[in-house]
């Protein structure tokens, strides 16, 4: 090929790579699956480096989250029309087919001929030898009705397998939660994971009131409602571009789901308190505690990774908060200088994250059942170590973004049996009306996505009644 033609071909490929949402979706999905990356971070990175309209950004986001969320269902459809088993497919072929199948099955506004043509165009650029195969599978698929048939033993052998295909969830998780919660609850929970997660933020009340922030955002074209759960929270219906606004850059708000915001309200700090946030990065709860204390007092914000302390510092600078002190500290290891030194300790512990299935769909594939045992050890270590840091009369708040009782109620009961100086305390009066009498009066509360329209979360509050 002449040098000029070769250069033109390369230029066309680079241009296509940076302007095609489907091509970039393929790149992100491969990165998430092969490197274990987070889809939200990969998306943000690609959007910063591509010249996209808001429409294209929305389409790219839909493709990435949709394919990750529905992966098992998509593979079920692909297997019906492919002569090659899924396990033997080239990784590019499989991802291209998943992207196209998602459009055919779930995006009614995209014409099937366009879906097929774009998939083949991408295939010709990255794996031309398989373009014909991809075309044949998608043409056959586009003429069929892509629906999950009703449960029958002939098709699915077991009901767990049916739910796995229908809701694109790993079978081990289905079996586990059917035992814990029962069938109607689990079906509703998994159904809720297919809805787009809500977008909420909290006002930085050291700079602006919640009502004033709402008015400001509405003036800028955002559709805003008061959060149903967080007193200083707002729900945004059309959040695209909100972190590029002057309001964000000036530190007038922090993006945080209502469930996570509720943790700080349950801790209920008073002005001039001394608080330890033992697992702090990126600092959402530490900065919230500082705001609730009017930036008067001290929040020691610990993390074990130096680069994560950088994230806390970035948020502190943007929010203009002075009372939070990022500290490099492995909170599973006892620091005797902290003994009985804090009015309150917040333990937002590492967990499976299985309350975030709707917000971070890759979690369902990143976790395995054996992960629970190692996480339980870390959770226990954090509770036992950080309990020593609470003053007599002070409080210990434990939280997770999981709804699994083994990470939540079971950890608290085990801790209390070993630490008689602590007891559960009633925080029902600190909750919004719709969450009263849900467990807060007994010192423990679980929020469920399908019930509370927020992230799945667990919060427990305990008081140190003696030394």
pLDDT digits 0-9 by tens, 322-349: 999 999 999 999 999 999 999 999 999 9
Residue 80 has pLDDT above 70, yes or no: yes
Model confidence band, residue 108 (pLDDT cutoffs 50, 70, 90) = confident
Catalytic residue among 210, 401, 425, 454: 401
Q: In the chain, what percentage of residues exceed pLDDT 70?
A: 95
Helix (H) or strand (E) holding 456, with range, is: none
Model confidence band, residue 53 (pLDDT cutoffs 50, 70, 90) = confident
Side by side, the strands of the sheet bearing 224-226 are 224-226, 233-236, 200-203, 253-255
Please say which residue of 255, 271, 288 terminates a domain. Answer: 255
For 159, the domain range is 153-192
Is 426 within a domain?
A: yes
> What is the structure's pLDDT at 10?
44
Q: How far apart are CA 149 and CA 163, in angstroms?
A: 11
Same structural domain for residues 422 and 285? yes
Contact 49, 34 (CB under 8 A): no
Residue 8 has pLDDT above 70, yes or no: no
Q: Choose the weakest-confidence range: 149-158, 189-198, 243-252, 398-407.
A: 149-158
The domain tally of the chain equals 4
Helix count and strand count (H, E) for the chain: 21, 12
401 flagged as catalytic: yes
Same structural domain for residues 449 and 310? yes
Q: Choose the weakest-confidence range: 47-56, 93-102, 135-144, 170-179.
A: 47-56
Same structural domain for residues 215 and 303? no
* Phi, psi (rounded to 5 degrees) for 146: -90, 90
Residue 14 has pLDDT above 70, yes or no: no
> What is the structure's pLDDT at 249?
97
Same structural domain for residues 344 and 421? yes
Answer whether 0.85 is exceeded by the pTM: yes
Q: How far apart are CA 277 and CA 107, in angstroms?
A: 43
Please say which residue of 121, 142, 163 terminates a domain. Answer: 142
Same structural domain for residues 302 and 236? no
């Amino acid at each position: 090929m002449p040098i000029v033609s070769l250069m033109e071909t390369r230029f066309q490929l680079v241009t296509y790579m940076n302007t095609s949402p489907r091509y970039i979706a393929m790149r992100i999905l491969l990165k998430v699956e092969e490197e274990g990356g987070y889809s939200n971070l990969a998306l943000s990175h690609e959007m910063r480096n591509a010249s996209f309209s808001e429409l294209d950004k929305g389409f790219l986001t839909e493709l990435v989250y949709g394919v990750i969320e529905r992966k098992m269902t998509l593979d079920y459809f692909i297997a019906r029309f492919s002569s090659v088993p899924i396990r033997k497919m080239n990784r590019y072929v499989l991802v291209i087919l998943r992207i196209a199948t998602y459009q055919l099955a779930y995006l009614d506004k995209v014409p099937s001929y366009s879906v097929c043509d774009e998939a083949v165009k991408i295939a010709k650029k990255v794996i031309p030898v398989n373009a014909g195969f991809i075309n044949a599978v998608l043409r056959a698929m586009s003429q069929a009705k892509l629906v999950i048939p009703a449960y029958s033993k002939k098709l699915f052998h077991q009901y767990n397998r049916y739910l796995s295909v229908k809701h694109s969830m790993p079978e081990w998780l289905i079996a586990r939660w059917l035992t814990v919660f029962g069938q109607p609850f689990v079906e509703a929970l998994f159904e809720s994971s297919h809805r787009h997660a809500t977008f909420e933020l909290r006002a930085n009340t050291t700079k602006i009131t919640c009502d004033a922030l709402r008015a400001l955002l509405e003036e800028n074209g955002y559709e805003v409602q008061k959060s149903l759960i967080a007193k200083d929270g707002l729900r945004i219906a059309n959040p695209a571009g909100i972190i590029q606004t002057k309001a964000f850059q000036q530190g007038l708000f922090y993006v945080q789901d209502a469930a996570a915001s509720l943790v700080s309200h349950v801790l209920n700090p008073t002005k001039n308190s001394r608080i330890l946030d033992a697992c702090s990065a990126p600092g959402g709860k530490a900065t919230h505690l500082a705001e609730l204390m009017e930036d008067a007092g001290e929040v020691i914000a610990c993390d074990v990774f130096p680069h994560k302390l950088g994230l806390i510092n970035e948020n502190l600078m943007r929010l203009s908060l002075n009372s939070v002190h990022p500290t490099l500290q492995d909170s599973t290891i006892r620091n005797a200088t902290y003994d009985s030194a804090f009015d309150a300790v917040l333990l937002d512990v590492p967990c499976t994250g299985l309350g975030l299935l709707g917000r971070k769909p890759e979690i369902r594939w990143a976790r395995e059942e054996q992960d629970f045992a190692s996480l339980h050890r870390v959770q226990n270590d954090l509770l036992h170590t950080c309990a020593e840091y609470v003053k007599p009369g002070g409080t210990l708040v434990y939280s997770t973004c999981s709804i699994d009782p083994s990470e939540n109620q079971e950890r608290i009961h085990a801790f209390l049996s070993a630490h008689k100086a602590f007891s559960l305390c009633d925080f029902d009066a600190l909750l919004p009306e719709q969450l009263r009498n849900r467990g807060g009066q007994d010192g423990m509360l679980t929020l469920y996505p399908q019930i509370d329209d927020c992230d799945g979360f667990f919060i427990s509050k305990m008081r140190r009644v003696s030394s």
